[in-house]
């Protein structure tokens, strides 16, 4: 769309979510984002994202490129994405490299950061801050065959009752008049 910044085309950005993600990253890595750069540009070279993953799981990204140009910085983003998968973030929650590099969909970048925050709950070794609500845990139940069979014969209360059902007193439509003798 001509005249509109690229970041407005893909999804609706939520500044409060971005600020929450930024505060969480800053508290995890122990550094502030550069004050002269907006959120998406501070993350663009992948250095902060790599630091984040290395703080959550030390050594998960062995070499972070802090110089070397665009190719090296795009490699940081790729390493970050691989580290997310190793850490347990579902691959459907990851943004594409171009979403961040070309600033096409910063909303997905923020969603990925929140997915990392949710995944951190599953790591008992992580003692730092968390991001977002704790995910629900599976609550499997095992019933014996006797209990399962007993449940087949029970009609739940949602189904109501037909104990007193009858058709007495029902009158549908007009009654038929029979006139004799005509």
Q: Is the pTM of this model over 0.75?
A: no
- The whole-number pLDDT of residue 11 equals 65
pLDDT, tens digit, for every residue of 14-25? 999 999 999 999
For residue 23, tell me if it sits in a domain: yes
Q: Domain holding 24: CATH number?
A: 1.10.418.10
For residue 130, tell me if it sits in a domain: no
pLDDT, tens digit, for every residue of 69-105? 999 999 999 999 999 999 999 999 999 999 999 999 9
For residue 77, tell me if it sits in a domain: yes
The whole domain housing 53 covers: 15-121
In total, how many domains does the chain have?
1
For residue 101, tell me if it sits in a domain: yes
Q: What is the mean pLDDT of residues 38-65?
A: 96
Encoded tokens for 3 = 């005249």
Query: What are the b/e assignments for 31-56, b being 16+ CB within 10 Å?
Result: eebeeeeebbebbbbbbbbbbbbbbb
For residue 167, tell me if it sits in a domain: no
């Amino acid at each position: 769309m001509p005249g509109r910044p690229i970041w407005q085309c893909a999804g609706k950005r939520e500044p409060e979510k971005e600020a929450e993600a930024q505060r969480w990253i800053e508290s995890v890595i122990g550094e502030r984002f550069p004050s002269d750069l907006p959120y998406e540009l501070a993350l663009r070279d992948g250095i902060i994202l790599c630091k984040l993953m290395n703080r959550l799981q030390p050594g998960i990204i062995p070499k972070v490129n802090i110089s070397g140009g665009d190719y090296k910085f795009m490699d940081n983003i790729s390493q970050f994405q691989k580290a997310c998968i190793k850490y347990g973030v579902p691959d459907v929650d990851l943004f594409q490299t171009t979403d961040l590099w070309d600033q096409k969909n910063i909303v997905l970048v923020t969603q990925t950061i929140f997915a990392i925050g949710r995944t951190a709950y599953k790591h008992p070794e992580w003692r730092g801050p968390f991001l977002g609500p704790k995910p629900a845990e599976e609550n499997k139940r095992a019933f014996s065959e006797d209990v399962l069979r007993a449940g087949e014969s029970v009609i739940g209360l949602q189904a109501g009752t037909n104990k007193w059902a009858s058709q007495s007193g029902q009158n549908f439509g007009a009654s038929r008049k029979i006139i004799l003798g005509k």
